[in-house]
Amino acid sequence: MAEPTLLAFNVLIVGPLGELADIINVSQIVAIKVRSAATGHDAIHHISRRRPHLMILDPHLPDMDGWRVVDFTKQKYGEYGVQTVIASRTLDRMTRTVGQLHHVSHFLTAPFQSSEVMGVIDAAIRDWERQHAW
C-alpha cells in the first residue's frame, strides 16, 4: 500500500459529529479526505469498501454500540490497522476504559476545539507515516 500523500489521508467520522467534519473541512488541508457515516451500519459499509487511515467515532450510535464498529474495523484491518479516536459530548470513565482496551489513540470531548481536533489528526498522520515508513 502506498504511503499517504497530501491527497490521500482518509478520515471517517462516525456518528452525530458534523461539527468535526466542519472543523476539518474549514482547515483547508487538502491532505485530508473526510467521509461521514451517521450510523454504525453506514460506517461498516464505508469501512468495507475503503480503509480509513483514521476513524473518529462517537460510541453512542443510534443503531448499534459504536464498539461493534471498532471490532469490525479490527477484524478487517488488524488490531492497529486503523487509528481510532473516540469523540463524544460526554466521556465517562467506562467509555475511556473500554477505549483503552480497544487501543483508542485519543479522546475528544465536546465542545470540540479546532486546535485540538487538528492536533489529533496531525498526530494520526505522523503515527501512520512512522508505521508505514520504508
Residue 21 CB burial class (10 angstroms; 0-12, 13-18, ≥19): middle
Query: Do residues 57 and 86 make contact, with C-beta atoms less than 8 angstroms apart?
Result: yes
Q: Locate the domains of the chain by residue range.
A: 9-131
With a cut of 50, say whether residue 6 has pLDDT above it. no
What confidence score (pLDDT) does residue 60 get?
Answer: 92
99 — pLDDT class (breaks 50, 70, 90): very high
Is the pLDDT confidence value at 3 over 80? no
Q: Give the predicted TM-score (pTM) of the model.
A: 0.85
Least confidently predicted of 49-53, 69-73, 124-128: 124-128
- Categorise residue 28: left if φ over 0, alpha if ψ from -120 to 50, beta otherwise: left
Residues ≥6 apart with Cβ < 8 Å to 1: 132
What Cα–Cα distance (Å) separates residue 29 from each residue in 6, 9, 90?
8, 10, 28
User: Cell numbers at residue 60, please?
Assistant: 453512542
What fold, for 9-131?
Rossmann fold (3.40.50)
Instruction: Please list the residues that pair with 56 across neighbouring strands.
Output: 13, 85
Structure confidence at residue 125 as a pLDDT band (50, 70, 90): confident
